[in-house]
Structure 1
Amino acid sequence: MIAAYGVANLLQSIAATRTDLQHGFNPRLLLSLGKRKTYLVGLLCQFTGFLLAFLARRELPLFLVQAAVAAGLGVTALLGVLVLKWRLPKAEVALLGALCGGLAGLVIAARPHPSRQLGLAGEVGLAVTLLLIGALGVFAARLHGARGSVALGALAGVAFSAAAVASRPLAGAHSFHQFVADPLLYLLIAHSIVGQLLLGMAMQRGSTTAAVASMDAAAAVPAAAVGLLLLGDEIHPGREWLAAAGFLVTLGAVIGLSFYAEPQHHHQQARSRMTVSAGPRKD
């Protein structure tokens, strides 16, 4: 799952920065992105990661799975070094080490356990959240630069967080009929589509750093809280401190890595544009 999300982050970011900027909350952005092979491959990787994350949520608490989803940025950084020839300073090596250590702490602290059911109140809450995200997205789409990236990225993160909350009890369905008849399935799909649209818009606003950092924080923290409070997520007795430390270290390392990856990514994009605009030289 971490590897799949890492590849998806890189490919989708490249595709978003090469697509015409959308100034409003326009679903046509997804159609424009869908014309690019880079984005489609990235979307396939994201779907693979999503499917693996869905299966993991059958037993694992959300604070572990959501932190692991965010940790995909570590794979993005490594791919940037191997494929795009990014440089990896000592600070970023330390962040990758912290990322691994934080995830290890979460794995040790997490206690596998099936989820509780959300019930009608939880389903209504997810539906209302979807409407609020859509309404706020209309206003956030008017922002530009770093402010637009932060606002849209955070809203995308909340949408993905809500999708994770819906998928935790849904993953425990005992039959296909129960699975397709559950309203949580359609809330999961709706939140995922809205989150994908908002993320694409956020990455177009000029700061992949702001988009990814705000998205990861908003996707991890609310889902972890809801999992512990409402879904019965458990921590091994006496390891609560390890879970808290692992979660904070993992999230902090992800945000730190996003500040490293974004300038190099945009530098690579700028060089590509210059090469294309210059065309072949005639000696």
Structure 2
Amino acid sequence: MAYGVLLALCAAVLMGVATVLQALGARRETAGGPVRAMFQWPFLVGVGVDALGFVAEVVALRSVPLFLVEAALASSLAVTAAVAAAVLRVRLRSAEWGAVVAVCCGLAVLAVAAGHEGTSDGDARLRWVTLGTSVGLILLGWVVNRRVHRARAAVLGGIAGLSFGLTGIGVRLLPDDITVTGVPAAPTAYAVVVSGLGGYLLLIEALRSGSVTAATGAMVIGETVWPGVFGVVWLGDTTRPGFAPLGVAGFVVSVAGALALARFGEAEQTPLPTGGAGPRQEE
């Protein structure tokens, strides 16, 4: 249990740092556009750190409840905010520092209250439904991107969050006795790939469509709330006996803190000029 909690927190730290590294790489190459920015060393290191974070997430999902892992992943925004303040010289407001503290306190409470993950890994029908849903969400995102104009950033961000949540569910639905050779035959293995990559592309479109805050806020809600409920209702995830109210409170506080830090979903804030004027604030 403690090992899984530690891995979930490591995943959050790694993904939060990766966001800042990728932003740093993107800002070092402005003339060559986004393609050349991807070959800047901070961006490449950020991609590698992000991959390590995903590995830590996958292992954590196999040992602790979904609601704990997803709340920890949302807390990566707190890591991004803290690292951006130091590396990108972003000025955090008092309320945002308070949100960072809230995220940390909420996760601490949630870790204390969390019980063991459920023993169920679903049946064959649920695994195929998971794969079909992952494809359906990508198609829905494609339609939204073409047809929806009002609040498109928030809607796409929400669909991206649902896809990321489905990634976690897909990992949990992999049979406990699965072997490396058995992975290609597992529908949920494909669901993990489709929902993970699809969610990433949808999030990029959401960030390009409008407010970073709206897109990231909707993503946080989508990737935390419904997977947590799914884990409790369908997979048997529990809190420790008598700790359910404390677990709910910790979950709500950590997610609320992450939502307050939603503008750091894309760590492309304007750095502080040497003259001392404050940075441009996101919506």
| TM-score bracket relative to the smaller structure | 0.7 to 0.9
Q: Residues 33 and 178 from structure 1, CA distance in 2 versus in 1: closer, same or farther, beyond 3 angstroms?
A: farther
1:9 lines up with 2:13 in the alignment: no
Matches within 5 A, 1:22-101: 38-101=42-105
Seq. identity, %: 30
Unaligned runs of 5+ in 1: 21-29, 272-283
1:228 aligns with 2:235: no
Gaps of 5+ in 2: 1-10, 275-283
Check the 8 A contact 1:33/1:39 in 2, yes or no: yes
Equivalent position amino acid for 2:53 in 1: G
RMSD of equivalent CA atoms: 3.1
Distance in 1 of aligned mates of 2:69 and 2:255: 12
How far off its partner does 1:111 sit? 1.0
CA distance in 2, matches of 1:19, 1:197: 21
SS at match of 2:146: coil
Cα deviations by residue, 1:153-207 (Å, 9 ceiling, x for unpaired): 1111111111100101327345333444322111111111111111111122242
- Amino acid paired to 2:270: H
**SS in structure 2 at match of 1:267:** coil
**Counterpart Cα distance in 2 of 1:165 and 1:262:** 22
TM-score, normalised via structure 2 length: 0.81
In the alignment of these two chains, the number of paired residues is 261
Counting only pairs closer than 5 Å after superposition, residues 158-177 of structure 1 correspond to structure 2 as 158-170=162-174, 172-173=176-177, 175-177=179-181
Counterpart amino acid of 1:2? A
Contact kept, 8 Å, 1:16 with 1:200, in 2: the verdict is no
Distance 1:169 1:127, change over 3 A: closer
Partner of 1:142: 146
Match 1:183 to one of 169, 187, 201: 187
| Structure-1 separation of matches of 2:41 and 2:127 | 36
Tell me, yes or no, if the aligned pair for 1:16 and 1:203 is still in contact at 8 Å. no
Partner SS, residue 111 of structure 1: coil
**Which amino acid in the other structure matches residue 207 of structure 2?**
M
Give secondary structure in 1 for the equivalent of 2:91.
Answer: coil
